[in-house]
Structure 1
Amino acid sequence: MNDFLHKLPQFAGNHMALCALFVVLVIALIVTQLMVLFRKYTELTPAGLTQLINRDSPLLIDLSAIADFEKMHVPGARHVAMSQFDPENKDLAKARELAVVVMDKDGRSTDKAAQRLVKAGFTRVYTLGGGVLAWQQAQLPVAKGKN
């Protein structure tokens, strides 16, 4: 270990670009983790969503494309097109005190919707990590069709 510490400055001097890339990656990793830590919504696993459904009867919002929603969705989820998603809508505003779970097909586009809900005053906002595909892979029941 002592030999490693003596050779480290020489290595850093000979490989400046590699060391700079390492520092940038470490900083990016730290910033990403801090953003996850301080966001005001929680990402749930399929098991966590099951517990929330059993405990609290949350409002389930599926932002998938309509074709994907009709192929499979979490039972009880309501489809809302991302282009029509508006947390300020008077019908949705009535649910500010409810737990709200935002999901889509693969869990990639739910962060912006969750942030919009938090900004609109929703206090209990969740996302389904991995989306409906993770729900299906966990061998949990899926519904088909428009309802």
Structure 2
Amino acid sequence: MLLALSVRRPGSANSLTPTQATLLINRENAQLIDIREPNEYVSGHLSDSRNIPSESLAERAGELEQFKDTPVILVCQSGARSSAACSTLAKLGFSKVHSLAGGTVAWVEAGLPLKKGARK
């Protein structure tokens, strides 16, 4: 039996470890939004994530309207941009917004796969 423990840092209430994110995806159908630039996205992204760059997040939030009460996990390279972007969606009425702590770097370090290329 594999048991994973996680420690949350102070002030990171909506940050998720890769393990926590995986559980939220599998159990609650969390939506993955990769907020990196398109060239970063195609170089490697989480499966089933959609690419909405952070600069466009507020203006493209309408594309996510159906997920306002669904868990949404924002993803970037290191977790810094996604953590900051959580407040953008929260201000727009999204009630379950999270950031992937450590971003795609932490995801890969946890042994989880990335997909290359554009979303199909």
Instruction: Give the TM-score of the pair, scaled to structure 1.
Output: 0.69
Aligned to 1:44: 16
Aligned to 1:24: none
Alignment RMSD = 1.9
- Per-residue CA deviation, residues 88-132 of structure 1 (Å, 9 max, x unaligned), is 732222211111101101111112210111111111111000001
Please, which of 27, 44, 65 is the counterpart of residue 93 of structure 1? 65
Aligned to 2:26: 54
Please, which of 79, 82, 98 is the counterpart of residue 126 of structure 1? 98
Give distance in 1, aligned partners of 2:37 and 2:60: 21
| Runs of 4 or more above 6 Å deviation | none
- Per-residue CA deviation, residues 41-73 of structure 1 (Å, 9 max, x unaligned), is 510000111111110111110011212211111
Contact 2:61 2:89 in 1 (8 A): no
Alignment size in residue pairs: 111
Contact 2:74 2:100 in 1 (8 A): yes
Amino acid at match of 2:24: L
Contact 2:32 2:50 in 1 (8 A): yes
User: What runs of 5+ residues in structure 2 fail to find an aligned partner?
Assistant: 1-8
Give distance in 1, aligned partners of 2:61 and 2:81: 20
Deviation at 1:140, TM superposition (A): 0.5
Q: Which has the higher helix share?
A: 1
Q: Percent identity?
A: 29
Give distance in 1, aligned partners of 2:107 and 2:53: 20
User: What runs of 5+ residues in structure 1 fail to find an aligned partner?
Assistant: 1-31
Instruction: Give the TM-score of the pair, scaled to structure 2.
Output: 0.84
Give distance in 2, aligned partners of 1:135 and 1:44: 11
* SS of residue matched to 1:61: strand
Contact 2:79 2:100 in 1 (8 A): yes
Give distance in 1, aligned partners of 2:59 and 2:25: 21
